[in-house]
Amino acid sequence: MKALYLIDASIYIFRGWHCYPYSRQDGEGRPLNALHGFADFLLDLLEKEYVEYLVCAFDQKKSRCVRRALFADYKANRSPVPEELRYQFGLCRELVAALGMVSFTSNQYEADDLIATLATRLRGSECRSIILSADKDLTQLVGVQDEWWDYARKVRLSRSGAKKKYRLEPEQIADMLALMGDKVDNILGIPNVGQATAVRLLIKWKDIDGIYANLTKVHKMQFRGAAHVQELLMEHEDQVRLSRKLTGLFMDESGPSDPEALRLQPVDKKALRQTFDRLLMKPEQQQRWWRVLGEGAF
């Protein structure tokens, strides 16, 4: 079975931005810390894993964001991306291209959606998806053979592992987030309903439709405040159903359906050397790169 590595690239770029020193700059004084962090993440992954199929999904500024069309304040609580970091996103995409890796981005869909499209579409092509992300939203994609991997925290969840962690099937994660809300993305959910209550409701009634089909029975459930939760569900039904649209994943119909389109290609050595020069990469670090690029799938 083919192992398809689906990387939520933006998370590892942001991690480099926050964790690597700002003093890492190019000859013009522009910071390169996010690029260094992302490059080190890719190198570490390639040293540890035998990789043949890999995709980096990038977020970008979206002129036709499907979620903002549904809810104008989606992610409105986030600060704008600093220009110094936006510049490095472009460099990270250049690095990916030089490494012979496939990348995707969209002005309509988020990286999560692009990953969801590939994981879902290629599941019937004898592919198992290894989703590298720290975003719990993506655990909803974990099929029987798949894996969600928070690389920085060294947490790997199979389908059974995700179920043990959240006490729900992966397909129920989006419903859980719709009920409890998601402050990171400014998704409202129901006030004063947290994860524990959302999980209880979903264990009992399976999904949001099931909860609302049995709404008059919620007050009989054996947890403190069940009657109040029933009132909140009734009061905020429109908000819950909107939140469920936001926490779900959209499919990009333009994505590839053949896993061979995602196979690693030969390295562009000239472009890669230029990237190494731009990074002012130390000789020993370059040697690690050339060593790993001369092995396995490369």
How much is the average pLDDT of 36-50?
96
Task: Inform me whether the pLDDT recorded for 63 exceeds 90.
Answer: no
How much is the average pLDDT of 218-226?
96
Task: Give the residue among 56, 108, 61, 58 at the shortest CA–CA distance from 83.
Answer: 61
Half-sphere CA count of 40, side-chain side, radius 13 A: 19
Q: Considering the chain, what percentage of its residues have pLDDT values greater than 70?
A: 98
How much is the average pLDDT of 176-193?
95
How much is the average pLDDT of 180-201?
96
- Band (pLDDT 50/70/90 cuts) for residue 207 is very high
- Band (pLDDT 50/70/90 cuts) for residue 298 is very low
Dist CA 280 CA 79 (whole Å): 30
How do 2-8 and 127-132 pair as beta strands?
Answer: parallel
How much is the average pLDDT of 189-204?
96
pLDDT of residue 41: 98
How do 155-157 and 127-132 pair as beta strands?
Answer: unpaired
pLDDT of residue 62: 66
Enumerate the domain spans of the chain: 2-167+250-293, 170-247
pLDDT tens-place string over residues 11-40: 999 999 999 998 888 888 899 999 999 999
Dist CA 238 CA 178 (whole Å): 11
Task: Give the residue among 7, 117, 95, 126 at the shortest CA–CA distance from 58.
Answer: 7
CATH superfamily to which 2-167+250-293 belongs: 5'-nuclease (3.40.50.1010)
Dist CA 129 CA 115 (whole Å): 9
How much is the average pLDDT of 178-194?
95
How do 53-57 and 127-132 pair as beta strands?
Answer: unpaired
Helix (H) or strand (E) holding 6: strand 2-8
How much is the average pLDDT of 275-285?
89
Task: Give the residue among 4, 40, 1 at the shortest CA–CA distance from 261.
Answer: 4
Domain 170-247 has CATH 1.10.1060.10: no
> What do you get for the CA distance between the two ends of the chain, in Å?
19
Does this model's pTM top 0.85? My answer is yes
Lowest mean pLDDT among 15-19, 85-89, 262-266, 291-295: 291-295
Dist CA 223 CA 47 (whole Å): 49
